[in-house]
Amino acid sequence: MRESIEMENIMPTTSDVETQAPKVSEDSADSRSAVLSEALGRWLEMNHVIGRGFNTLDGEVDLVAKLVETSTNDLNSLFHRLVENAQKQSEGMGDIVRVASLVDVGGEMLTLPEIIVFLEEVFSEGIMNVLQLSQTAMTLVFALDDVVVDVKEVVKHIGEIEQINKQTNLLALNAKIEATRAGEAGKGFGVVADEVRQLSKDINHLAETLRSRVDAVHSGIDSGHEKLQSIASLDMSGNLKSKDRIENMMQALVTQNAEFQESLSLSAELSEKLRKDMSNVIMRFQFQDKAQQQLDGIRMTMSVLRDAAGALAEETGESSGLPPIEDDSELMEQWVDAVIKKCSLGEMRQRFVQGMLLKAEEASANAETVASGSSDEDDDDIEMFATGGDSGDGDATHASPSDQTETEDDDNIELF
Amino acid sequence: MEYRISNSGGNAKVVFNGDITFSENVSFRQLLKDISEQNFDACDFDLTGVNMVDSAGLGMFLIAREQAETDGWKLTVSGAQGHVASMLKLTKLSDLLEG
C-alpha cells in the first residue's frame, strides 16, 4: 500500500499528463489533433525509455546468469573438495578403529581380548606352578617323615647294639678274670678275652660313629623339613588380590576400548553420511541449468516485446510525422528517475543510471563493460531498438549528453 | 586343624575345622591313611568350617587327589566359602574337585 502511494508520487499520472496537455476544446478538431500528437509524442518517449530499460535489464539478466553459473561452479568445486575430505576422514576413522583394536607385539597383531587371555593364562600358569611346587614339597615332607621314622628306628637299633656290646664287654671282662684265676691253663683264654674286649671297644666306637652319622642325617632331615616348609607354605592371598586387580584392570581396558571403538565407528558413520549428503548437494546444483533456461526465456520475451514496441514506435513515427526524439524530455527523466529510485542495490542502480540516462549506444557500451562478454546479439538488439525508437542519427545526437543533462543526472544520483 | 570322618554307605565325609596349613601336614597325612584303610568309594572334604588355606594345604589336597586316583576312590570338596573358595578358584582346584 505504501509502495503504491510512493509510485503515485513518483510516476507521472494520467491526470498529470492531462494537466500538462493543452486544453482541448470539445468542438475543435485542431485541438484534438494537437492532443493526439502530444500523446503520440509521449508514447514515443515512453517507448524510448522502455527500450533503454530493456537493454539494461538484458544486461542484468546476463549478469545474473553469469553470477549463478560462476557461484554454482565455485560451490560445486568446494563441495567436491568437501566430499573428498569427508571420504578421507571416513577412511581415517576406519583406520583408527582398526588400529585401536590391535596391538603390535613384535610383528604379531593381537586384539586386546587376546592379550588379556594371554596374560590370564600366564598368570594362571604361574599359580599352577606354585601349586605344583607345593604339592611336590609336601610329597617330600611326607617322604622325609617316613625317613625320620626309619632314622629313629636305626637309632633304636644302634642303642640295642650298644647294649649288646656293653654286655659283651662285661662277658669278656669276666672271662679275663676267670682266665687269670686259672693261671697258666687259662692264659690262652685270657688272650681271647682280651681280643673280645678289643672287638667290643671297636664295636662301641663304630656304634658311636653310626649314632653320630644318624644324628647328622636326622639333623639334615629336620633342616630339609624346614626348607620344604618355607617352599610349600606360601600365603597366596597376595596373588589372589593381584589376580583380581589385574582382571579388573583388563576388564576396564576392554570396556574402554569397546567404548572408544564405538565412538570412532559412530564418527566414521557420520563422516560417510556427510559425504553422501554432500554428494546429494552436488547433484542438486543442476538447478543452474534450469535457471539458465528460465533466464534465457526472460531475455527472449523481453527481446520480442522490445522489438514489437520498437516496430510500433517506428510505424507511429512514420505515420504521425512527428519529429524524432533528439533529447531527453523532463517527463522522460521523471520516468527514468522513478525506475532508478526503485533500485535498492547500489551497484545495480549505478548500471541503471548509466543505461537509462545515457544514450542507447553508450548504454550498450556500458552494458558490455559491466557484463563482460555481451553477445553480438545484444548489440544487434540495441541497434534494432535505436532504429525503432527513431533514426540512428537521433541517437547519435543523444550520444553527446548536454552538460545540463549530466548535471541533472548527477543530482538524481545524489538524491538517491 | 581338626577333622571328623563320617561314613554313609561307603561314602566318607570329612568335616574340617580350623586352618589347613603346613603345620597340619602330620594330621592330614594321618587322615589320608585312615581314608585309605577304610576303602571308601568316595570321599567329600567339607570345608565349611575352614577359614584359611595356604599353598601347602592346597598341595595336600592335590596329594589327596593323587592318592584317590591311585587307590580308586573319588575325592570332592564342598562348602568352601570366602577366602578358601577364592583360593580354590584361583588355582582352578574348584574345577578339579568341586562335585
Confidence of residue A400 (pLDDT cuts 50, 70, 90): very low
- Tell which residue, A125, B89, A129, has the closest CA to residue B47: B89
| pLDDT surpasses 50 at A372 | no
User: How far apart, in whole angstroms, are the C-alpha atoms of residue B86 and residue A239?
Assistant: 11
Distances (CA, A) of A11 to A6, A19, A178, A332, A358: 8, 14, 178, 11, 20
Q: In this predicted model, what pLDDT tens digit does every residue of A292-345 receive, in sequence order? A: 889 999 999 999 999 999 899 888 888 888 887 777 788 888 888 888 888 888
**pLDDT at residue A388 is higher than 60:** no
CA dihedral B53, B57, B59, B60 (to 10 degrees): -150
The pLDDT of residue A154 is 92
The predicted model gives A261-280 an average pLDDT of 85
Per-residue pLDDT, averaged over A208-229, amounts to 91
pLDDT of the residue at A291: 87
Which residues, in sequence order, are CB contacts of B62 under 8 Å at separation 6+? A131, A132, A134, A135, B93
Per-residue DSSP letter, A325: P
**Residues A78 and A72: beta-carbon distance below 8 Å:** no
Of B60, B90, B91, the CB nearest to A138: B60
In the three-class reduction of DSSP (H, G, I as helix; E, B as strand; rest coil), residue B75 is classed as: strand
Give φ, ψ of A400 to 5 degrees.
-110, 85
* Contact residues, chain A, for B21 at CB < 8 Å: 233
The residue extents of the domains of chain B are: 2-98
List, for residues A14-29, the tens digit of each pLDDT value: 445 444 545 545 567 7
Q: Band of the pLDDT at A409, cuts 50, 70, 90?
A: very low
The neighbouring-strand residues paired with B45 are B14, B77
**Among A391, A395, A362, A396, residue whose Cα is nearest residue A379:** A362
Tens of pLDDT, residues B43-81: 999 999 999 999 899 999 999 999 999 999 999 999 999
Best of B91, B93, B95, B97 to substitute, by most chain A Cβ atoms within 10 angstroms, is: B91
DSSP lists the bridge partners of residue A104 as: A109
Instruction: Assess contact for A173 and A229: CB atoms under 8 A.
Output: no
A29-100 and A237-284 are packed helices; what angle lies between their axes, rounded to 10 degrees? 160
End-to-end CA distance of chain A: 21
Q: What is the pLDDT of residue A242?
A: 83
ipTM of the complex: 0.93
pLDDT of residue A25: 53
Domain B2-98 is in which class? Answer: alpha beta
Instruction: Please compute, for residue A63, the number of CA atoms within 13 A of its CA located in the half-sphere on the CB side.
Output: 15
| Interchain pair B22, A232: CB under 8 A | yes
| Percent of the residues in chain A that have a pLDDT greater than 70, as a whole number | 79
Cβ neighbours of A124 in B, within 8 Å: 92
Q: How confident is the model at residue B99 (pLDDT cuts 50, 70, 90)?
A: low
Given an 8 Å threshold on Cβ–Cβ distance, is A142 in contact with B63? yes
Q: What pLDDT is recorded for position B59?
A: 93
